[in-house]
């Protein structure tokens, strides 16, 4: 009885093995397709790998270039500010000299007035008044020059205001650099995941130092329409009208 | 009262522009600092400083952290602080006001705006 049972169990096992081989035979074409697919994919993956490697190696150079743009514009802006300061200082001197010239002219005008009053019929005096220095005309010229100097002064100040764009763009560039730094880190870890450890180390070594997030405002904008300042003014005014903690404490202590 | 300003900004250009603007509106006493930490050192080293103009985004110690550190010290509880920054979002302005800046300017600014804010701060009685 045991022998019959053992034979039956053996037969069942053999039947299972047979089914396994039959299933295996059916599976072979699928496995072959997978192997073919993988063979075709390897060059593609190598291409992806090389592209990532290439992009990662170029990022530090781009970051350096951005840093050098920021430094170069800062130097250029400083030079422009030097020129503007020099011109502004010269203009102040010119205005001051003109003021002193006007004072002397006023004094001269009084002298001519006195001369005319003293010698109303003297032909030389008449000639001097008619053809000599005419304080009225000189006063007009003085006013015109002063007005022009004021205009130049305003222009120089506008240049200074516009130069604030350097700080704003520097913050935008720092933000871009920070973003590129993040991309480089991601790509480096991707290289590591697909087994390019050496390249990852090289890439990390090449990483360019960038400013921390606290050092720039990614939303910095060069906006001269003063909308932001209007918002500030309204919020500051609201803040000023709100009672201070001290006032609240005083109010409660009276009760 | 003669004002002596502590001008804090990591941008050399901006410090220069703020100083030029201050000179233009009649102030000529100032000390400069490139970040919040340097500013704290300069403030502690110079008792003559009685007005702070600071940027927000700076390395090491930001302008906002500087304001908090200054206000945490009873000695500087009432020193006027003017924030001059590119940050113009409502939440930024509110955060700065909560940290107790006296006023706030969004870059780019004009010397007229700077004068107006300084005068407003000086005219406001200390709470």
pLDDT in tens, B52-96: 999 999 998 999 999 999 999 999 999 999 999 999 999 999 999
pTM tops 0.90: no
Q: Report the helix count and the strand count for chain A, using DSSP H and E.
A: 7, 0
Closest partner CB to A215 (pick from B57, B104, B108): B57
Distance from CA of B105 to the nearest CA of A (A): 6
> Does A178 contact chain B (CB < 8 Å)?
no
What is the pLDDT at residue A97? 92
Give the full edge-to-edge strand order of the sheet including B103-106: B30-33, B5-8, B51-54, B81-85, B103-106
Classify domain B5-123 by CATH architecture: 3-Layer(aba) Sandwich (3.40)
> Which domains does chain A possess?
2-244 (1.10.287)
ipTM of the complex: 0.87
The residue with tokens 């340097």 is B38
Contact, B43 vs B76, CB < 8 A?
A: yes
- The whole-angstrom separation of Cα B19 and Cα A84 is 14
Instruction: Judge: A81–B17 Cβ closer than 8 Å, yes or no.
Output: yes
Selection from A174, A162, A167 nearest residue A218 by Cα? A174
CA-nearest residue of chain A to B98? A239
Contacts of A163 in chain B (CB under 8 A): 13, 17
What is the pLDDT at residue A183? 86
> Does A75 contact chain B (CB < 8 Å)?
no
DSSP state of B76: G
Per run of 10 residues, the mean pLDDT along chain A (length 255 residues) is: 81 86 86 88 84 82 90 94 93 92 84 86 82 74 90 92 92 90 82 60 62 82 82 88 64 61
């Amino acid at each position: 009885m045991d022998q019959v049972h053992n034979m039956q169990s053996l037969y069942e096992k053999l039947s299972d093995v047979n089914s396994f081989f039959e299933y295996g035979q059916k599976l072979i074409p699928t496995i072959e397709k997978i192997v073919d697919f993988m063979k075709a994919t390897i060059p593609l993956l190598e291409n992806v790998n090389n592209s990532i490697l290439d992009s990662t190696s170029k990022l530090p150079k781009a970051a350096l270039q951005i840093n050098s743009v920021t430094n170069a514009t800062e130097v250029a802006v400083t030079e422009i500010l030097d020129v503007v300061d020099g011109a502004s200082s010269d203009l102040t001197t010119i205005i001051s000299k003109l003021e002193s010239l006007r004072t002397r002219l006023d004094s001269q005008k009084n002298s001519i007035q006195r001369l005319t009053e003293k010698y109303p019929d003297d032909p030389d005096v008449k000639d001097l008044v008619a053809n000599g220095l005419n304080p009225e005309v000189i006063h007009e010229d003085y006013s015109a020059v002063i007005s022009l100097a004021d205009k130049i002064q305003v222009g120089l100040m506008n240049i200074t205001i516009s130069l604030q764009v350097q700080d704003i763009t520097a913050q935008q560039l720092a933000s871009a650099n920070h973003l590129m730094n993040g991309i480089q880190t991601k790509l480096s870890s991707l290289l590591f995941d697909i087994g390019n450890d050496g390249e990852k180390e090289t890439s990390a070594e090449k990483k360019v130092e960038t400013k921390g997030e606290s050092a720039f405002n990614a939303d910095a904008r060069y906006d001269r329409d003063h909308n932001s300042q209007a918002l500030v003014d309204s919020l500051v005014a609201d803040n000023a009208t709100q009672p201070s903690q001290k006032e609240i404490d005083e109010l409660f202590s009276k009760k | 009262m003669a004002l002596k300003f502590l001008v804090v900004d990591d941008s050399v250009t901006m410090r220069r522009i703020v100083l030029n603007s201050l000179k233009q509106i009649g102030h000529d006493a100032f000390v400069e600092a490139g970040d919040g930490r340097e500013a704290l050192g300069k403030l502690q080293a110079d008792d003559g400083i009685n007005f702070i103009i600071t940027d927000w985004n700076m390395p090491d110690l930001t302008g906002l952290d500087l304001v908090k550190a200054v206000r945490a010290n009873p000695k500087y509880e009432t020193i006027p602080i003017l924030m001059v920054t590119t940050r113009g979002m409502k939440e930024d302005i509110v955060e700065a006001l909560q940290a107790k800046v006296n006023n706030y300017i969004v870059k780019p600014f004009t010397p007229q705006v700077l004068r107006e804010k300084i005068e407003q701060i000086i005219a406001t009685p200390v709470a």
